[in-house]
Amino acid sequence: RPMPQTDQRQNHIEAPIEPLMRAVPMPIETERLILRPTQTGDGAALAEAVQETWDQLNEWMIWAKDRAGATEEMYESYARENAARFIQRENFAILAFERASGRLIGSTGLHQPDWTLGRCEIGYWVRTSAQGQGYAQEIAHALTVYAFNALQMNTVLIAHAAGNDRSQRIIERLGFAPCGVIPNGIIVPSGALLAEHIYCRTDLNGLPERPVSWPEP
């Protein structure tokens, strides 16, 4: 059912809930996409999307450095590892699929969840052939709404490396506010140390209205 983009949280930290007992309803649905956790069997689709987008990923994503020449089997191992981490509520690696075709559009997630503070960070990339169609913004918007209203987070972060102008534009369109710059905060596959620009939201005020839904927990 459509989820309202009003803030449904209480503005204080309640007694901690055991992470394994936290409800994480899936999938998340948007106008064009279905977002679900990475699972067994996703290795082939991941390998294809990464190979297609390799030049960009190898410019900005440090994990790409360790995956040069990775086989489909290695991506399947990665998918299963992330499926296990999702169950443990340690990290939420999520894949975005096009509703109309079922094609994998990109990879995203809610990373480094801090259940005490109620904080997590959104990451994302979109395969080359699907870029320029607003998918990255659609994904980041959906995860922002989901983090606050489904997971009851207090703060949602997004960061980009200095010079990654595409990512910066997406973040700013979603109304995230600059909340700090860490000099030499990000290392990219070339080995360069770049400034890390961090943006944050503490509520949904001013977030553009778009359809987002997920199952009742």
| Position 3 confidence tier, pLDDT thresholds 50, 70, 90 | low
φ, ψ for residue 177 (rounded to 5)? -95, 140
pLDDT at 25 exceeding the cut of 60: yes
For the segment 114-125, the average pLDDT, to the nearest whole number, is: 96
Sign of the Cα pseudo-torsion (80, 85, 87, 92, in order): negative
Please state, in angstroms and rounded to a whole number, the distance separating the CA atoms of residues 125 and 185: 19
The predicted pLDDT at position 1 comes to 47
Sign of the Cα pseudo-torsion (140, 141, 145, 148, in order): positive
What would the pLDDT profile of 8-22 be if each residue is shown by its tens digit? 555 555 656 788 888
φ, ψ for residue 206 (rounded to 5)? 80, 0
How many degrees, rounded to 5, is the angle at CA 119 between CA 114 and CA 122?
110
Which strand (E) or helix (H) includes residue 111? Answer: strand 104-114
> In the β-sheet with 193-201, what is the strand arrangement from edge to edge?
177-187, 193-201, 155-161, 119-126, 104-114, 92-98, 33-37, 28-30, 212-213
| Close Cβ partners of 203 (under 8 Å, ≥ 6 residues apart) | 7, 148
